[in-house]
């Protein structure tokens, strides 16, 4: 879902990484599921991509079969 949000924002992994002051591999690793984001990192990504993190979590919860 984060890769989808990045695509919706029209950014490459490298462009997002630059906004986050990280390497492109950071974005690649969490998009491929090889790295998990902690809450602070997730909020930084949400801000960089300009999306509502609470809405994202509600959608994720529904897709994963949660409440």
Q: What is the pLDDT of residues 23-34, one digit of tens each?
A: 999 999 999 999
- The pLDDT value recorded for residue 43 is 98
- Class of the CATH-defined domain 2-63: mainly alpha
Backbone angles phi, psi at 58, to 5 degrees: -60, -45
Q: What is the average per-residue pLDDT within 16-44?
A: 98
Rounded to 5°, angle at Cα 24 from 53 and 59? 20
CA-closest candidate to residue 14, choices 59, 48, 52: 48
Give the predicted TM-score (pTM) of the model.
Answer: 0.91
pLDDT band per the 50, 70, 90 thresholds, residue 64: confident
């Amino acid at each position: 879902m984060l890769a989808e949000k990045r695509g919706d924002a029209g950014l490459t992994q490298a462009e997002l990484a630059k906004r986050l002051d990280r390497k492109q591999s950071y974005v690649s690793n969490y998009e491929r599921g090889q790295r998990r984001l902690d809450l602070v990192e997730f909020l930084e990504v949400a801000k960089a991509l300009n999306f509502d993190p609470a809405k994202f979590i509600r959608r994720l919860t529904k897709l994963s079969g949660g409440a």
